[in-house]
Structure 1
Amino acid sequence: MTPDSIVFGAAGFIGRSLVAELLRRERVVAAALRGPADRLTSWLAGQGVDTARLTVVTADIAVPGLGLGAAPDLGRVRDVYNTAARFAFGLGVAEARAANVTGAVNVADWAATRQGLRRLVHVSGYRVSGGPPDYRRDGAYEASKREGDAAVRARAAELGVPLTVVNPSSVTGEGQFIGLASVVRDLWRGRLPLLPGDGRTFLPVVDIGYLARFMAEVPGHEETAGEAYWVLDDRTPNLPELAGLLAAHLGVRPPRATIPVPLVRRLPRALTGADPETLSFMSGDRYETAPALAFAERAGLRMPPVEEMLRTWADGLVGAGFGEGEAPRGPYGFRDVAGSRTWVAGERESPRYVLLHGLPLDARSWAEVSESLDGPVLAADLPGLGRSSPARSLGEWTEALLEPAGTRPVLVGHSFACGPVLRYALARPERISAVVLLAPAFLQAPAGWPARSAFGAAVLRGTSPARLAGRLGVPEGALADLRRPGAARRVIGAMRAGYAAREELRRALGRAEVPVTIVTGAADPLVVGEADVVIEGAGHYPQLTHPRRVARVLREAAGRVLPARL
């Protein structure tokens, strides 16, 4: 099949989403990119996109002819999309201009050679209308985008190329970790006590899915030729309200106040943490969106509700560790559970297994175990730990977490979490089918458990997560959120509470009315009672070191009971 569309910058955040949208519309697409093809194809596969109509070609927009000499037949390409750009702050002028100016003009030149060209769609930026480029004032990125916008329009007019310019604002969606994402990251990590700007500061957003659909529609409508569209959501809250919305969703403190941008510019960057290039975006400017909205209306396009979209995006940012990891599979995000903004991953209404983590871990510690289980899994960060905010009562929280479940799951606790698991089993035996206690701290030797342990002291001294992970023999990612404000002290508080409850839990163990399986690592023995399963070669964290063996134990526990629906 000969491509009818080509997307330059196809492996980028906007480009790959556009490729996916075009393929879903059964277009035959050439994806032009510089790097390995699997950067794009693996992402498309993860999105469930059929790539039978996709051709990947190597290109370099910074050189005349775009480096397409050995490319397959592109003679029938009628729609040319340029989503390629260098989006970063701190760029050198030459580096920024190579992609954002020279490269953009090269694409226009190449498009002019297409005999059946229907449209060149060029992705610019929403702040390109602020006058001529000023590299000293605006920085290399914004200035080069402004220069490139003018250069492409001039070259298209000179060559008679039918051009449509799309000017998106900050684009949000799964996998977007730059731009406004830095505000979310700083909120999450407690590093945003003051917001640059004022009550009028407007950082508009647009959903990546909507933008891709908008761009895919453009070439099929004659009236879009020669137009420039500002594609953004006018309903985006002003920055203070936006930050407050996100803070409430994440369960963190919002910024206390705003600080004028001119003052931020005068303060040392080491003090403010603000990149000077980002400050020009902190303005109250509004944009002419009526033409884009009118076209979208004619094309049957609707933006998703902006507040809902922002919350979903924030969940994705936290779930993926702001680009340092991978988001969990299935549904996930922050939910209200007994007064806690709780991180929940998996199925709340019909779980076969409910997995609660120990210290100092979070729900990510169950990832490999979950992949080997034979039914829906619910995992959550305990209140005040991991990504969850504190709750009034751990018992109330456990009850509220499981309240939506319409099944009788196997309830699994690791270490500290064996306490709330056992208490729930005693209080609500009719709602669960079995209990598995993995490395139950209340049955183990006390020396390594309370806050006076070497681990507790290291946490309070501010030892890095990497060094702590090495001491514990766990992946560094398992302690990713230990440096959030108050996180270390909450871990120590949980340690102390667990130590104080040891005798109570030991007495309670014999009163359980559901089957209980106790599992330990061979290097982490019990001092009270005997384990039902001992995992050779494992220590206190067998779910991390021997996940398949732990999963088998859980499957066996589930297989001995009938997890009927309630």
Structure 2
Amino acid sequence: MDAIVFGAAGFIGRSLVAELLGRGQRVAAAVRNDTLTPWLTSQGVDTSGLSVVTADITRPPAGLPPARDVYNTAARFAFGLGVEEARAVNVTGALNVLEWAATLPGLRRFVHVSGYRVSGAQPDYARLGPYEASKAEADLAVRARARELEVPLTIVNPSSVIGPGQYIGLASLVGDLWNGRLPALPGGPGVFLPIVTIDYFARFLAEVPASPAGEAHWVLDDTTPLLPELVGTIAGHMGVRAPRRTVPVGLVRRLPRRITGADPETLSFISADRYPTASARAFAAAVGLEMPPAADALRAWADDLVAARFGAAVPWLRPYGFRDRTWVMGERHRPAHVLLHGLPMNADLWAPLAARLPGPILAPDLPGLGRSAPADRPMEAWLADLMGPVRTRPVLVAHSLACDPALRFAAEHPGRVSGLVLISPAFLQAPGARLTRSALAVPLLRRMSAARLARTLGLPEGPEVASAAADLRRPGVARRVIAAMRTASAAREASRSLLERVKVPVEIIVGSADPLVVDAGHPVTEIAGAGHYPQLTHPVQVARHLGAGSGAVRG
């Protein structure tokens, strides 16, 4: 083989394998369980040059194919580990891989992925914790044993590697920020938590074996903003409030963890230290590698984290991301359908239907709801801005309380849409639940589990309801949902009047268990057995109706 990658199913290892395969190399992937192949397939990687082999590096490898280059990307990256658990992979495992590599007659390079906090001093397990201390011990041990065995070695010390699929480390801090659980930042204003993107790091690793042996490279972005600015950049992009206060690390260490929420092992990373990146920068320049701007990388990673619910879900539609603090998924320029969700849901409501619709779709979270931040303009202006880049005349599909802004847009811009589909238009149906009139509405809604929300809405439990329940627990979302329900209830007559004047073709879809209570004056399709959310419970029937007569008209 051209290369063998240990830890190939991990976050770094799998991206390295993809990079090497993309360069036409024959790669052996050493894994304990093959979760790698499905991931590579999902990324569109040609796996014809891949050989997957089973290996547990806590024991000496045996029966593996020889390779010219050996990469050790395997690591036990977690906090709260026991000392022996951490050492088994990070120290003993690294030495086992090195010993095996030393037996290969055609070995060009052994590449060991270490950590940027290694200092060269003997590790202090009590002070650093098992993860960081074991990585530091491994760094020393691998260097010493490679000298003894005369193995051509390169050590690469990455900082926090960010990108799709990274949900630990710095991601935990971003998760607390997103969920309103970060009242203050640990450390002072000079804290430096450097990053490097996974794409850049995989390309860097792929180039290393052709460089001189015996080097160590600290791979990180020296331009990473200091922690307050880093958090502010992400907060501004996501539309959440950034903490303005800082708490000294010494105080955080003394406070109970149930109060701070901070894992003691993470606190050693809260530092103003800088790192010797000169060799990595020179090497990158020599091979033509350039890091993306740190702020852009952080914003893109924030999009990935929110799309994947910080590892709890799989994104169902791409591209995705925040645009002017609005969460938007799908095709922004040439959609066939634009889908506007109702309450208390978000755009994930459309996943079962969207998979069955012809042509691309555009699906935002409404302002202030789901994952979107509140807008500083009326809903009609927000929708006009959303539709600004659209170059087709799509079908505008709205559900429940979103039918009113959809109607207003269609009435004001009839030439911008080819049709209007209203699913369960609330202003034509019986008044909503008494929940909106209760003083306890907001806390009740915010505390609802996914199972209870599903029962309340008469829906089966599923990822769409779980997604909505997760958003309702974020600060302000439940309050804005209740406020939107009350506002829409007061505007029922105005919406009915507007429906009579709209000039674009209008069709209405309802469930038989949630019928209209007034005459719509437009064609109505009733779906047998469906309630208020037919696109979720009966997507095939709804898609069949939409696909029969709706398609984007190219502008």
Q: Whole-Å Cα distance in 1 between the matches of residues 451 and 305 of structure 2?
A: 21
State whether residues 450 and 499 of structure 1, in contact with CA within 8 Å, keep that contact through their aligned partners in structure 2.
no
Q: Tell me the equivalent position of 1:542.
A: 534
Q: Whole-Å Cα distance in 2 between the matches of residues 404 and 303 of structure 1?
A: 29
Verify: 1:45 aligned to 2:30, yes or no.
Answer: no
Equivalent AA in structure 1 for residue 153 of structure 2: L
Q: Tell me the equivalent position of 2:87.
A: 97
How far residue 413 of structure 1 moved from its aligned partner, in angstroms, is: 0.4
**Matches for 1:234-313 after TM superposition, within 5 Å:** 234-313=222-301
State whether residues 442 and 479 of structure 2, in contact with CA within 8 Å, keep that contact through their aligned partners in structure 1.
no
How far residue 85 of structure 1 moved from its aligned partner, in angstroms, is: 0.5
Equivalent AA in structure 1 for residue 553 of structure 2: A
**Matches for 1:145-156 after TM superposition, within 5 Å:** 145-156=135-146
SS state at 2:396 partner: strand
Q: Tell me the equivalent position of 1:347.
A: 331
State whether residues 508 and 525 of structure 2, in contact with CA within 8 Å, keep that contact through their aligned partners in structure 1.
yes
State whether residues 434 and 557 of structure 1, in contact with CA within 8 Å, keep that contact through their aligned partners in structure 2.
no
Q: Whole-Å Cα distance in 2 between the matches of residues 144 and 540 of structure 1?
A: 55
How far residue 243 of structure 1 moved from its aligned partner, in angstroms, is: 0.5
Equivalent AA in structure 1 for residue 339 of structure 2: L
How far residue 565 of structure 1 moved from its aligned partner, in angstroms, is: 3.2
Q: Tell me the equivalent position of 1:56.
A: 52
SS state at 2:273 partner: coil
How far residue 357 of structure 1 moved from its aligned partner, in angstroms, is: 0.2
How far residue 465 of structure 1 moved from its aligned partner, in angstroms, is: 3.7
Equivalent AA in structure 2 for residue 120 of structure 1: F
- For residues 122-179 of structure 1, the C-alpha deviation after alignment (integer angstroms, 9 at most, x for no partner) is 0000001162211111111001000111111111111110000000000001111111
How far residue 459 of structure 1 moved from its aligned partner, in angstroms, is: 3.1
Equivalent AA in structure 2 for residue 550 of structure 1: V
Q: Whole-Å Cα distance in 2 between the matches of residues 252 and 129 of structure 1?
A: 36
TM-score, normalised via structure 1 length: 0.94
Q: Whole-Å Cα distance in 2 between the matches of residues 433 and 146 of structure 1?
A: 63
Verify: 1:176 aligned to 2:166, yes or no.
Answer: yes
Q: Whole-Å Cα distance in 1 between the matches of residues 189 and 120 of structure 2?
A: 21
Q: Whole-Å Cα distance in 1 between the matches of residues 28 and 409 of structure 2?
A: 56
Q: Tell me the equivalent position of 1:7.
A: 5
State whether residues 23 and 50 of structure 1, in contact with CA within 8 Å, keep that contact through their aligned partners in structure 2.
yes
Q: Whole-Å Cα distance in 2 between the matches of residues 378 and 460 of structure 1?
A: 28
Q: Whole-Å Cα distance in 1 between the matches of residues 316 and 178 of structure 2?
A: 18
SS state at 1:298 partner: helix
Q: 1:126 to 1:457 in 2, by over 3 A?
A: closer
Equivalent AA in structure 2 for residue 406 of structure 1: R
Q: 1:447 to 1:212 in 2, by over 3 A?
A: closer
How far residue 4 of structure 1 moved from its aligned partner, in angstroms, is: 2.0
How far residue 447 of structure 1 moved from its aligned partner, in angstroms, is: 4.3
Structure 1 residue aligned with 2:429, among 441, 444, 465? Answer: 444
Structure 2 residue aligned with 1:470, among 441, 444, 455? Answer: 455
Q: Tell me the equivalent position of 2:547.
A: 555
Q: Tell me the equivalent position of 1:24.
A: 22
Equivalent AA in structure 1 for residue 374 of structure 2: P
Equivalent AA in structure 1 for residue 99 of structure 2: D
Aligned residues: 547
Q: Tell me the equivalent position of 1:426.
A: 411
Q: Whole-Å Cα distance in 1 between the matches of residues 279 and 443 of structure 2?
A: 59
- For residues 73-106 of structure 1, the C-alpha deviation after alignment (integer angstroms, 9 at most, x for no partner) is x23x110000000000000111000000000000
SS state at 1:485 partner: coil
Q: Which moved more, 1:523-532 or 1:195-204?
A: 523-532
Equivalent AA in structure 2 for residue 532 of structure 1: V
How far residue 452 of structure 1 moved from its aligned partner, in angstroms, is: 2.4
Q: CA RMSD in A?
A: 1.5
Q: Whole-Å Cα distance in 1 between the matches of residues 123 and 333 of structure 2?
A: 55
How far residue 264 of structure 1 moved from its aligned partner, in angstroms, is: 0.5
How far residue 458 of structure 1 moved from its aligned partner, in angstroms, is: 6.7
Q: Whole-Å Cα distance in 2 between the matches of residues 523 and 163 of structure 1?
A: 69
State whether residues 455 and 468 of structure 1, in contact with CA within 8 Å, keep that contact through their aligned partners in structure 2.
no
- For residues 399-430 of structure 1, the C-alpha deviation after alignment (integer angstroms, 9 at most, x for no partner) is 11111111111001000101111111111111
Q: Tell me the equivalent position of 2:32.
A: 34
How far residue 537 of structure 1 moved from its aligned partner, in angstroms, is: 1.8
Q: Whole-Å Cα distance in 1 between the matches of residues 467 and 378 of structure 2?
A: 28
Q: Whole-Å Cα distance in 2 between the matches of residues 95 and 381 of structure 1?
A: 43
Q: Tell me the equivalent position of 1:233.
A: 221
TM-score, normalised via structure 2 length: 0.96
State whether residues 6 and 30 of structure 2, in contact with CA within 8 Å, keep that contact through their aligned partners in structure 1.
yes
Q: Whole-Å Cα distance in 1 between the matches of residues 258 and 12 of structure 2?
A: 32
Q: Whole-Å Cα distance in 1 between the matches of residues 536 and 445 of structure 2?
A: 24
How far residue 557 of structure 1 moved from its aligned partner, in angstroms, is: 3.6
Equivalent AA in structure 2 for residue 107 of structure 1: V
Equivalent AA in structure 2 for residue 565 of structure 1: R
Equivalent AA in structure 2 for residue 237 of structure 1: P
**Matches for 1:118-267 after TM superposition, within 5 Å:** 118-129=108-119, 131-221=121-211, 223=212, 225-267=213-255
Q: Whole-Å Cα distance in 2 between the matches of residues 34 and 535 of structure 1?
A: 49
Q: Tell me the equivalent position of 1:314.
A: 302
Q: Whole-Å Cα distance in 2 between the matches of residues 483 and 301 of structure 1?
A: 42
Q: Whole-Å Cα distance in 2 between the matches of residues 378 and 557 of structure 1?
A: 19
SS state at 1:105 partner: helix
